[in-house]
Structure 1
Amino acid sequence: MATKLTDAKLKGLKAPEKGQMEHSDSDVPGLRVRIGASGAKTFILRKRVGDRIHNITVGRYGPRFGLADARKKARLLISDLEAGKAAPAPARASSTKAGTIRSMMPAYLRSKEKLRSAHDLKSVVNKYILPGLGDRFADSVTRGEISKFITEIAETRPTRARNVLAQLSAFYSWALPQLDNLAANPCRDAGRPPKPVARDRVLTDIELAGLWRVAEGEALPWGPALKLLMLTGTRRSEVFEADRSEIDIKAKEWTIPAERAKNGLPHIVPLSAEALAVIKAIPASDDSPKLFPAMGNPENGPSGHSRALTRFRKSLNETLKRELAERWTLHDIRRTVATGLQRLGVRFEVTEAVLNHISGAKGGIAGVYQRHDWKTEKRTALDAWAKHLAGVVRKYDTRAPLNARTAKAKIEPRPTKKCPARQNSS
């Protein structure tokens, strides 16, 4: 007899001495949880359509796949089955034929692995496409469903939503020859978020000084990470996902590997004395390779950037004792560094090298012959920027001077080699 499954009931299920036992869910007819002698719990869907009974594995119960996830996936599978779609084949047998988007994606990614944008593609797939549509049959997703999916992403990240749609459309262009029941790419006429207006927000000197003060008051990982963004002009993901192995303290360099760089090229970031002081003060973790390990998941960098940014904005308003009329983002810090370097008289080519951009003298055919790495010039530029930032902080906020001694004192690590508790958001 079916009963309403709950997480408490699932956690309390006892494994049989031998064989398997099944427990049905009354909320989603056909959804069951199977528990074996090992104690492993697996969701399955048993659904009759016409004269045929389909038995489909929904997923293994665990921290990353709970009851709510199983119900959502089961309802989608039921909808597809009732619409006449075949049951999904195992991923290993269907990676090159029609099936779910998840089962087809490995072959698609292999076909794109030599692209410079392969890292960004994998990020979009794993963060957006698979969680949102991965368990749908590729030939059952409609134009309207894709429009709704993209609109939901666009509510918080409009630029990223356009990128997700482009990547999903590219997947369907690749998959279409394998999808006999799909006449056209469903992304082609799906709703597309409007192209965002190009941002030109640059933080003023007094805002930079205030933001440094905000960073001084933030715990790990946010305070030190915010300082590194201001000192290096690197991207948010490059800072928060950095490995300690990328940083050479003796050489005073941070090498961002090609797979983490947006343009697919390794990027050497010369570290100023101020940046080195910030990094040296970050306590190392014996059980994580990350500079900023996520709490509870030390193999990854921290999440919760949006909530942290909301907190930064509020703190900066309080620090400056006024509400900023123009909204700012973490990426605006990168633009501020670039603009600041230009104000200091740094050559455009050097500024582009600091940002790891491929344009101008490094773009197109010129880039084939222009092999200078600008390492010395980048170091001079970032050292000059660190000194300028220190002067700005001293000018507008004498209580939080930026120098090696103070930077280290403000975030002195606890006397332990273990990874301290970190705030992913608050």
Structure 2
Amino acid sequence: MPRKAAPLTDSAIKTAKPKTAPYKLSDGEGMYLEITTNGSKLWRMKYRFDGKEKRLSFGAYPAVSLAQARQQRKEARQLLADGQDPGEHRKVAKREQRHTFEELAREWHRYNAKRWAPATADKAMSYLENDLFPIIGRKPVATITRPELVELVRRIEKRGALNAAKKVRQWLSQVFRYALAKGAVEANPATDLNVLAEHAPRVEHHPHIPLAELPELLKRLDATRASVMTRHAVRLLLLTGVRPGELRNAPWAEFDIEAAVWTIPAERMKARRPHIVPLPRQAVAILRQLQEITGSHALVFPGRNSARPMSENTVNKALAGAGYEGRQTGHGFRHLLSTELNGRGFNRDWIERQLAHGDKDEIRDTYNHATYLEQRRGMMQTWADSLDALCAGANVVAIKRKA
């Protein structure tokens, strides 16, 4: 019976000197310290799996201590007892550690940004950079657990940002679905996070004031420190009925000011179909003024970094500064426009097309490709004229559509 090797000691390791050929100091159970001719001391473990002799490396002494090497040996022998090859297990673990959450999330974003509207791509990246990367960005994606994600979303909910928390849950689920398809994870830990979501109070998402209060709002807005670009943006939202994101991301190339038409391509629209916006005379006048300010830029409303658009919060902050926080938002002007035009008896199809809404009847929507451009041009000019009359003190209630 072979003699059992005595366990190594730190003093024996420290005093071991290099020789003319590499040699080994055994610690038992397959583990040994290899002393190379240049004096390096390397931890190894010899084992057999499926009838083949194999070796594991545990690192170099003293970076890996005797106690640490023994712990690695213990873990390897447990894997062998469970019928697993420690070497293959290590390869899989290294492969799983390769991708961090930020790497996978940015790859997912690049993949999807090609089919998203720019506003959607910007918003998704904003949530990633502000709420996710600082917390889990550097973590290997395969090591992230469901409880971690629940706690991450809870942090967002605790600051009262329930809408942001909802978006974060959606993005997390999509990123991990992408990682799952790539084989970077074996399961999606972000499924069903909405089951534990904080319930949001019922609120009016896009409040708007009565039409009669509009002159006072515009007067107050002009008296604030809001920039002329912001004030122009508010008026263009009123005069066109477009979504705030469609306006702030608009490049000058989409406008034909001479023809008084703004053509928004499908990739920038929520419904993914091109939208033609007739421009009343008042909107054309504002755009000509804006040309003198931002005409040399690609965007009509560039932000501080001219390559990016005005912030999505700029208009709402300006309205809040004018005293209308919780009473009027940029998106709320669409509701005001819809309420007033429907109340004045304009054709419902014209109004819905102006607002770029799809028909609730999907079959009807599929076959109704009419843009009603000329009808909408007359409707929106009547609307713009009525706003001028209102601000001048006329009785707008009497202004109805022409028969």
TM over 0.5: yes
How far apart, in 2, do the equivalents of 1:215 and 1:197 lie?
A: 28
Distance 1:179 1:248, change over 3 A: same
SS in 2 for 1:291: coil
* Aligned position for 1:328: 328
Deviation of 1:394 after TM superposition, in Å, equals 1.7
2:132 maps to amino acid? L
> Aligned to 1:330, what secondary structure does the other structure show?
coil
RMSD: 3.4
Check 1:314–1:189 CA distance in 2 against 1; reply closer, same or farther (3 A cut).
Answer: closer
Query: Which residue number in structure 2 is paired with residue 94 of structure 1?
Result: none
TM-score by length of 1: 0.61
Question: Could you say which residue in structure 2 is the equivalent of 1:202?
Answer: 208
Shift, 1:293, TM fit: 1.7
Residues 354-386 of structure 1: per-residue CA shift (max 9 Å, x gap) = 1111123xx523333222112122212211211
Determine if contact 1:101/1:130 at 8 Å carries over to the other structure.
Answer: no
Instruction: Summarize the Cα distance change of 1:276–1:149 in structure 2 as closer, same or farther, 3 Å threshold.
Output: farther
The 1:331/1:112 distance shift into structure 2, 3 A limit, reads: same
Contact 1:350 1:378 in 2 (8 A): yes
- Give the deviation of 1:396 after TM superposition: 8.1
Q: Assess, with a 3 A threshold, how the Cα gap between structure 1 residues 160 and 395 changes in structure 2: closer, same or farther.
A: farther
Question: For the residues of structure 2 that align with 1:150 and 1:212, how far apart are their CA atoms?
Answer: 38
Letter in 2 for 1:101: F
Q: Which amino acid aligns with 1:194?
A: H
| Aligned position for 1:280 | 288
Residue of structure 1 aligned with 2:242, choices 222, 234, 237: 234
2:220: which partner in 1? 214
248 and 177 in structure 1: CA distance in 2 versus 1, 3 angstrom threshold:
closer
Deviation at 1:224, TM superposition (A): 0.6
Does residue 139 of the first structure (1) align with residue 139 of the second (2)? no
Instruction: Look up the match of 1:192.
Output: 197
Using the alignment, how far apart are the partners of 2:155 and 2:265 within structure 1? 32
User: 1:391 is aligned with what amino acid?
Assistant: A
Q: Does 1:168 align with 2:168?
A: no
Answer yes or no: is 1:309 the counterpart of 2:307. no
**Could you say which residue in structure 2 is the equivalent of 1:129?**
128
- Structure 1, unaligned runs of 5 or more: 1-49, 54-83, 90-97, 318-323, 398-426
Which amino acid in 2 is paired with 1:336? L
Partners of 2:229 and 2:242 in 1: CA distance: 16
Once the two structures are superposed, what CA deviation does each residue of 1:30-85 show, in whole Å capped at 9, x if it has no partner? xxxxxxxxxxxxxxxxxxxx8489xxxxxxxxxxxxxxxxxxxxxxxxxxxxxx97
**What secondary structure, in the 3-state scheme, does the structure 2 residue paired with 1:221 have?**
helix
Could you tell me how far 1:274 is from its partner in structure 2? 0.9
Determine the structure 1 residue equivalent to 2:337.
337
Does structure 1 retain, via aligned residues, the 8 Å contact 2:276–2:371? Answer: no
User: Could you tell me which amino acid in structure 2 is paired with residue 294 of structure 1?
Assistant: G
Superposed CA deviations along residues 163-194 of structure 1, whole A, max 9, x for unmatched, are: 33223213323322545665443342354243
How far apart are the structure 2 equivalents of 1:251 and 1:197? 44
Counterpart of 2:270 in 1: which secondary structure? Answer: coil
- Matched positions, count: 298
Distance 1:176 1:126, change over 3 A: same
Deviates more, 1:133-142 or 1:150-159: 150-159
Distance 1:260 1:196 in 2: 31
SS in 2 for 1:312: helix
The match for 1:289 is 298
Query: For residue 284 of structure 2, what is the amino acid of its counterpart?
Result: L
Q: 1:350 is matched by which residue type in structure 2?
A: W
User: How many angstroms does 1:253 deviate by?
Assistant: 0.8
Name the SS for the 1:358 alignment partner.
coil
| C-alpha distance in structure 2 between counterparts of 1:162 and 1:138, whole Å | 21
Residues 217-257 of structure 1: CA distance to partner in whole angstroms, max 9, x if unpaired? 43232111111111111111112221111111111011122
Change (3 A) 1:392 1:357: same
Once residues 213 and 233 of structure 1 are traced to their aligned partners in structure 2, the CA distance between those partners, rounded to angstroms, is: 20
How far residue 213 of structure 1 moved from its aligned partner, in angstroms, is: 1.6
Q: Give the SS at the match of 1:263.
A: coil
TM-score by length of 2: 0.64
1:54-69 residue pairs with structure 2 within 5 A? none
Secondary structure of the corresponding residue to residue 139 of structure 1 = helix
1:113 shift after superposition = 6.3
* 2:142 alignment partner, SS class: coil
Bigger RCO (CA 8 Å, 6+ sep) = 1
Corresponding residue for residue 376 of structure 2: 378
* Cα distance change, pair 294–184 in 1 and its aligned pair in 2 (3 A): closer
Comparing both structures, which one devotes a greater share of its residues to helix?
2
